[in-house]
Structures are given as structure tokens and as C-alpha cells.
Amino acid sequence: MQLKIYQENAIDDLLTKAKRLLGYSGSKKLVFKSPTGSGKTIMMAEFFKQLVDDREVKQSLGFIWTAPRQLHIQSRDKLESYFETSRALKCSYFEDLDDRKISENEILFFNWESINKADNVYIRDNEQDFNLSKVLERTKEEGREIILIIDEAHHHATSEISQGLIQMIGPKLTIEVTATPATITDEDEKVFVQLEDVKKEGMIKKAVILNDEFENFIKQGKIQTQKLSGGSEELVIDAAMKKRQELVKEFQKERVNVNPLVLIQLPDRKTSLEDRIRERVESILKNKYKISTEKENNRLAIWLSGEHINKENVEKNDSEVEVLIFKQAIALGWDCPRAQILVLFREWHNPIFSIQTVGRIMRMPEPDKGHYKSEILNYGYVYTNFDNIEIREDIARDYITIYTSKRRPDYQPINLLSCYPKRHREKTRLSPLFTEIFLKEAKEYGLRKNVDKKVRKIDLKIISDYKAEDVDALSGAKIVGDKEIKVGGFDLQKLFDFFVRNNLTPFYPEDRSVGRVKESIYKFFYENFGFKWGESEDEIIQIVLAEKNSRHFVNVLDKAKERYKEEVEKRESEMVDVPDWNVPESLSFGGEYKKIEVKKSIMVPFYGDEKWKSETAFIDFLEKSDKVEWWFKNGDRDATFFAVPYDNGEKKPFYVDFIVKLKDGRIGLFDTKSGLTKQVAGPKIDGLYKYIQGENKRGKKCFGGIVVNTEQNYRGRWVYFDKTSKDFRDNSFDNWADLIL
């Protein structure tokens, strides 16, 4: 699995901070906060692997992973499959422990509810000396430090469980893993992953839209829902099924084999009324949509306590199940990335919208691909007949979209050339691209014929204070002949690591980059000499490190690094063209926006945050014009919004603030600014000027530039700068054109 940029950064951060805390005396605490759907478990797995491989960590480490309910089972399965090839750590339950202790680099998994009072900690009642305190005693007798992981730490009613666990286990380091940490914590260090970064990389949906196509508004901090509110279950199901059909069509257009799933959450049973709601829901699905649990149909799944129907493969992207009926119980840790629509029915108590509620429909079905071209597929949808909804946690507030604005039906395509920046890995570490380049360079160099496979011995020069157990002492030493010392297995791998590290400059010799070079060399042998994966690595290392061969590998590595650096720098500022950009069909807005009454916006209704007076004043100006057919307030992210390329040492997108369509067919591209200097605006001015000239040569009717008002109170003239930056003079409007609309 290719880790995302934010995941690599978080792992580096965790490693640095954990190593620092392990170096102090006493017990320390690290909080790792990462949004639902960001891949917390995978990040922890890679962090563990790097921690136990790290040469600076001298302690022998054992791990305990605790989680609520049955989540520890899911976590164990994920980690075990992650360590399947590397075997870096062993994943165990109590019954798997050898000698009733936690071995080095072993993780013990259990759920924290299975632990009773501090003086009675039997995990298995039938074996009196096989309880947690005895296991810990034996483990610590061997000089092993414990790292305790408390997963889903925010699920404690109080921090009492956390405190009790920590006191009883006495870990060297506690790591609390959470999507929403409590506000008051006593952590020594923290690592936070930002929601925005997770969205940008296409791991999770851009947002969750509440009652799409039905108007919502905010009153006293709560969302009031209209039309659907107070409506029948049928009205809500109809809205959800209509949206499902739209999604099905878009997935087909994208040629993606994903069958979007509707989740219907029933209220918890308090009286027989809830049973009647279930009967009603099943009846609507069967009679109106031909969806049932019957064997020949199989399009409905049920997941209720003691009742599981058609649930086996419901998580698979191409499962035939279209609707799943469930209750609150499956909220925690359940993964079904194709789930995209959530239906909630009125309950007796006040409904609260938390990240756990929307978490079930946050994930993207193909995280490696990220977001799709079709915007509708990049959102989750919630339909409910609640009258009002309170949004609980901050993260849910950032994530839930309350308002939706639609493009007017009278819109005619304008097909503008737009662009957006292609995202790439950072320059400091090696991506899979390096392997490709290394193999190409090896071919050009003729590495295959220069390698002598018969030379396999690695002879070590004996250093006067050489200690056999300290292979680190060999770092950078020249390896020359003396047959006395034989090197194999773990020592051999360490020597190979040193060889790679010494030849990695200018790249930082962190573990992933070292691993990438080793993988490239192994691949060269697999492809050229038919060596077998997983069987011949020791043999390959002996051939590579033999003095006769090693200089050839150094030469190819040097060439590959040069080529990789050029390639990455070229790609860093790569812009992707969108040949026929048009105003988006719909846009979503959170609670910080409000509805603004305007007539000429192409998006209806228009929602603004009124952050900038210059923008508000410009909208007033456009609204009063007889010449304006419509205007669009542009955004500043990805391919959704309009951008022109400009060069500021590297290519970047310039997202102009407004696109204005005039009745005479001209298109105005304007960026509202105040207090401009040439230094700030120069490259953007040139980028926009060049773009307008180029488009007009191709038959478009574009005009525009930076637009300002001549008076600070916006009662002056609106003027725009339609020349190049060499004609731009700070604090002077002498050569600006009047914007007469």
C-alpha cells in the first residue's frame, strides 16, 4: 500500500516524538489525533515497524493495544496483515502468548472492558496465574519496556479507564489514539493530522451533505431542516433512493465497479413504535423499489442484534446489496467505503450529529484513486426527517455541509481552459518512481554485464576495537578481505542498510528511502538474473557488496538519483489542463456561510462568508449592472474551480475571484484586491494577461485583470489592470481601465 503524504509526515512525527519520550525517565503520554477515515491503524502499524527497526532505540519493547468493544479484533487483523511480509512485529491475543509474557516486538491485543478492578485483573478466570498483572511482571523481569496504545481513546466515559490502565500496566509510553481528543489532556507530546490534508489526498469524501436539494437553515445554533422535516419515512427513503440512482449512473460513466450503498438507521427500540417503523421501511423498499432480503432478490441486508441477513459481503465494492438496515451498535470501527447515503429517522430524544454518525459514509471507495472527476461521487449524503439537528464535535462541524447551491438551469456552457496543480510526493524522499528510474539507468549503464555473480564473499576488515555484537561499528568501514569473519542474516541486512545510507545523499537516509533503494536493487536481480523473491536476498546482498561489484551499483545509484531529482522538480510544478471548464453543477457550504439575497448569481441560492469587504462591494456593483447576465464567485481548490497558470519560480494556479458573463457574450475574469504592490501581484498579473491574450487568439471573448475601487469606502470608480506587470505602478491608478458595466 502506497502511504499518503500526510500519513508519512505523521509517522515521521510520531517516531521523532516517541523516541524523545522513551529517552526520559518515568512514564510519558503521547496523543495521536487523526480524523475518522484517515488510516490511523495503518499509520500506527508503519510507526511500530520503524520504531522497532530504529538503531537509536536501545530498549527492548513490548506493546499492548487496547480498544473498546470488539474493535481490538479488527485492529489486530489489520496489523497482522500489514506485518505479513516484513514479520516486523507479532500480533497476539492472551492465549497466543509464549511463556505467558509479552516477547520483544510483540503486540498483545484486548478490549478494555474485559479488565475488571485493579486488584482482580483476570483475563481468563480459569488460570489464576495467567492474568494481566502476572504477564506484565514476567515481561518486565526480562527488562522489557511496555508501550501502551489506547485506541478510540475518546470513547471513555471519563478518563478513569485510561488512568486505571496506565497505573496497572505501568507503561514507559502511553499513546492515546483518537479522532476527537478530550479538550483537557495531560499529554507530554501530541501529533495531529489535519482533516483538510486527508480530504486533499482523496482518502475521505470532501464533505457530507445534509438533505441535498432540500433547504436547511440555522436557528440558535441548530440546523433546521425543511420539507423533509416532519415528513413520512417514505418521503425520506424516496429522496435517498433518487440520490442512489444518480450515483449509480455517475459510477457507470466513470467506469468504476462500485455499487453505492444506502444505510438506514432505525431508532433504538423503546416501544413497539420502533418495530412498526422497521416494518414500514421494509414494506416501502419491497413494494416501491423491489428491494428485499428474499433469496432471489438479495438487495437488502439486515444488521440488528441477533439478526444478520445478507451481511456476509456487504463491504465489498461490487456487492449486490443496495440497502442495509441497522441500529446504533455498528457505529464503531465498521468499514464499508461504498456506503454513501445515510437515512436517519426521528427519535424521541434530541438528535445529535457527531462524527461517529457521519463516519460510516466518509470513506472513499477507492482511496488509492482518491476523488473522482464527477463531483457528486466525492460527497456523502444524509437524509433525515428530524426537525432540527445539533452538531456535536468540531470535526463534524467542519465536515457537514448544511447548504447546497445549484447552477441555474438557464446556464449555457462557456468551456474555458482551466488548470489545477498535480499533487506529488515530497522531494526529500524516494517514491516508487525511483525504482522505475533505477532500472532504466541500470540498463543504460549495462549493469547486467558488469556484475560478476560469482563474487559473493564479503570480507570484513577487522577493526582494532571491533565488538562482534555491535554491527553499527562497521558503518562506513571499507569492506576488505579476511576470510575469518563470516557475516549473515541480520548483520548482512545491516551492512546493506549502511551501504545504501552512505550512497543516498542528497536524500535524507530515512527508512522508507533506504527501503526503496534496496527494493530497486532486488528488483534488478529478479528481472535480470531470475533470482526468486523472498528466497535469494542474502545472496543478492553478498554479490552487491563484493568490492568488484559495489562500485558499479554506486555509479548507477548516482545517475538514478540525479535523474529522479530532475524528474521530481519538473513534476512538483506540473499543472494539469482542464480543456473545457464550466461552472460546477452544485456547491456545498458549511455553517459559517449564510444565504445572501442576490439576483445575478449563476449559483442559486448564493451563500457567502462575507470575509472580504472588497468582494461584497464588487458583488453589489455587479448586481446593479444592466450588462451582466450572470456572475460566479470562484473558489480556490482543485479542478472544481477555475484557475489560470502563473510562474512564481514554479508554476502555480491563480484562482481569480470572479467570472462574469456579459449579455454581449464577453467573459470577464476579475480578482478583487486592496492595497496591492507589484511584488505581490506581478507574476499573477502576467499569468492572467498571457491567458487572456492566448484565449482570445483562439476565438474567446475574454477580458479582465486585478480589480479595485479607487476609494477605500468603495464609493469611487471600479478600475481594472489589463496590462503586464512591467506597466504596473504601486499606489497609482493612472494607467488602469475603467470597468463600465
389 by DSSP, 3-state: which? strand
Q: What is the C-alpha separation between 304 and 326, in angstroms, rounded? A: 6
Q: What letter would DSSP give residue 158?
A: S
Is the four-CA dihedral 374, 379, 381, 387 of positive or negative sign?
negative
Per the document, the length of the chain is 741
DSSP letters for 262-296: EEEEPPPPSSHHHHHHHHHHHHHHHHHH---SSTT
619 forms beta bridges with none
pTM over 0.75? The answer is no
User: Which amino acid makes up residue 109?
Assistant: F
Please tell me the predicted confidence (pLDDT) of residue 255: 93
Q: What is the C-alpha separation between 352 and 494, in angstroms, rounded? A: 54
Beta carbons of 161 and 122 less than 8 angstroms apart: no
Q: What is the C-alpha separation between 645 and 640, in angstroms, rounded? A: 15
Q: Parallel, antiparallel, or unpaired for β 628-633 and 658-662? A: antiparallel
Beta carbons of 571 and 427 less than 8 angstroms apart: no
User: Which amino acid makes up residue 528?
Assistant: N
Q: Maximum Cα–Cα distance for the chain, whole Å?
A: 94
Q: What is the pLDDT of residues 209-242, one digit of tens each?
A: 888 876 655 555 555 555 555 557 888 899 899 9
Beta carbons of 222 and 229 less than 8 angstroms apart: no
Return the C-alpha cell found at 20: 524523545
Burial call 391-418: b when 16+ CB within 10 Å, e when fewer: bebebbebbbbbbbbebeeebeebebbb
With 0-12 / 13-18 / 19 or more C-beta atoms within 10 angstroms meaning exposed / middle / buried, residue 337 is buried
Residues 6+ apart with CB under 8 A from 397: 391, 590, 591
Return the C-alpha cell found at 689: 494577461
Is the peptide bond between 506 and the residue preceding it cis, with omega within 30 degrees of 0?
yes
Count CB neighbours of 432 within 10 A.
11
Along the chain (741 residues), what's the average pLDDT of each consecutive run of 10 residues? 85 92 93 90 94 87 88 88 87 88 93 57 49 86 93 62 76 89 74 90 88 63 55 84 95 95 83 79 93 88 86 91 82 78 72 68 89 91 77 64 88 94 66 89 92 73 41 44 47 82 76 84 90 82 89 92 81 81 89 88 91 90 94 90 88 93 95 68 89 92 91 89 85 84 86
Spell out where 333-378 has E strands: 339-344, 352-353
Please tell me the predicted confidence (pLDDT) of residue 472: 45
User: Which amino acid makes up residue 482?
Assistant: D
What's the alpha-carbon Rg for the chain, to the nearest Å? 31
Q: What is the C-alpha separation between 234 and 228, in angstroms, rounded? A: 10
Q: What is the C-alpha separation between 227 and 221, in angstroms, rounded? A: 20
How far from chain centre, in Å, is Cα 49?
A: 20
Q: What is the pLDDT of residues 268-317, one digit of tens each?
A: 766 676 778 888 899 999 999 999 998 788 899 998 877 888 888 899 99
Indicate the Cα dihedral angle 462, 466, 471, 474, nearest 10°. Answer: -50
DSSP letters for 187-218: -SEEEE--HHHHHHTTSB-SEEEESTTS-EEE
Residues 6+ apart with CB under 8 A from 646: 652, 653, 654, 683, 684, 686, 687, 688
- Closest-CA residue to 541 (of 588, 495, 608, 481): 495
Which residue in the block uniquely carries the three cell numbers 491608478? 733
DSSP letters for 648-677: SSSEEEE--SEEEEETTS-EEEEEE-SS--
Q: Which helix (H) or strand (E) holds 434?
A: helix 433-445
Beta carbons of 17 and 50 less than 8 angstroms apart: no
Q: What is the C-alpha separation between 535 and 526, in angstroms, rounded? A: 11
Residue 172's alpha-carbon distances to 63, 149, 166, 286, in angstroms, are 10, 11, 10, 57
Residues 6+ apart with CB under 8 A from 493: 541
- Closest-CA residue to 695 (of 667, 672, 722): 667
Q: Which helix (H) or strand (E) holds 314?
A: none
User: Which amino acid makes up residue 728?
Assistant: F
- DSSP 3-state percent helix, strand, coil across the chain (nearest 5): 35, 20, 45
Q: What is the C-alpha separation between 656 and 705, in angstroms, rounded? A: 9
Please tell me the predicted confidence (pLDDT) of residue 37: 87
Beta carbons of 38 and 204 less than 8 angstroms apart: yes
